[in-house]
């Protein structure tokens, strides 16, 4: 049994994203899909003394052109130092900030990125290494893509040798389950419910913030507050 998940890349995603990665054998970054504004592709949330704050990577969007996430270029370089400065200002007193900063700070201050997909994958892989997630991560363009919303997902699973596809619950609105059955691929739905709270700074608890919040606050104990990470 080989389990597959297919999701668009996000910027420093929340803990549930990494639980889905850990729950499968191959995780395909679906960045051949259209880039959407004001979404999780190029931004995420952190906690501050003033409440939730967005960290947004500036990108170039070419009008009405059907621009994929893969094609989306990062606009400028100043954002990286600004993001790190914001993380440092709001989490420097967190118990495990220094430990996480050892490998995270160089990704912001010593590396450069031209495209959003490149940045997202670099950060996702670094976080997976810290969490000891061994899942194979691949790109959708590693495969020849078929037309059709569900047809493409089924075909990707088959080409990746998958026998089970793990989908996020939001996809229930559009996925044609019969196409998976016809291809001999089991369709399962991922459940994000039931996460325990962890020691978190700055007021009322928030589950939906970037996983960096969990790492800064809990360090190596982070998996205790996750679902699938060993």
Query: What are the tens digits of pLDDT across the range 123-157?
Result: 999 999 999 999 999 999 999 888 888 999 999 99
Query: Where are the chain's structural domains?
Result: 3-225
Q: Which of 73, 54, 50 is nearest to 62 (CA)?
A: 73
Nearest Cα residue to 55 out of 21, 29, 28, 89: 89
Say which residue, 65 or 86, is predicted with more confidence: 86
DSSP state of 223: G
**Greater pLDDT, 172 or 120:** 120
Q: Give backbone dihedrals phi and psi of 205, rounded to 5 degrees, phi first.
A: -65, 140
Interval 162-220: pLDDT, tens:
999 999 998 988 899 999 999 999 999 999 999 999 999 999 999 999 999 999 999 99
What whole-number distance in Å separates Cα of residue 69 and Cα of residue 34? 6
Strand partners, 48: 51
Q: Do the beta carbons of residue 216 and residue 97 sit within 8 Å?
A: yes
By three-state DSSP, how is residue 217 classified? helix
- Decide: 130 and 20 in contact? Cβ < 8 Å: no
pLDDT per residue over 68-88, tens digit each? 999 999 999 999 999 999 999
DSSP category for residue 175: -
User: Is the pLDDT reported for residue 230 higher than 70?
Assistant: no
- Report the predicted TM-score, pTM, of the whole model to 2 decimal places: 0.96
pLDDT of 229 reads 75
Distances (CA, A) of 174 to 29, 151, 171, 178, 201: 19, 11, 6, 12, 38
CA angle, corner 104, sides to 99 and 110, nearest 5? 130
């Amino acid at each position: 049994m080989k389990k597959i998940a297919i999701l668009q890349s996000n910027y420093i995603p929340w803990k549930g994203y990494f639980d889905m990665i850990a729950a499968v054998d191959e995780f395909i970054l679906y960045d051949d899909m259209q880039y959407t504004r004001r979404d999780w592709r190029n931004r995420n949330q952190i906690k501050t003394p003033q409440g939730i704050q967005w960290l947004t990577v500036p990108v170039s969007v070419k009008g009405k052109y059907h621009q994929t996430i893969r094609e989306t270029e990062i606009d400028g370089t100043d954002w990286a130092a600004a993001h790190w400065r914001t993380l440092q200002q709001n989490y420097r007193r967190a118990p495990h900030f220094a430990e996480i900063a050892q490998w995270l700070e160089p990704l912001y201050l010593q590396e450069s990125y031209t495209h959003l997909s490149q940045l997202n994958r670099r950060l996702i892989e670094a976080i997976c290494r810290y969490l000891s997630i061994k899942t194979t991560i691949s790109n959708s363009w590693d495969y020849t893509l078929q037309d059709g919303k569900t047809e493409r997902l089924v075909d990707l699973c088959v080409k990746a040798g998958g026998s089970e596809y793990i989908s996020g619950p939001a996809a229930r609105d559009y996925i044609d389950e019969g196409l998976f059955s016809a291809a001999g691929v089991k369709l399962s739905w991922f459940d994000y419910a039931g996460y325990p709270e962890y020691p978190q700074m700055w007021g009322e608890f928030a589950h939906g913030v970037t996983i960096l919040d969990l790492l800064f606050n809990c360090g190596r104990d982070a998996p205790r507050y996750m679902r699938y990470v060993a």
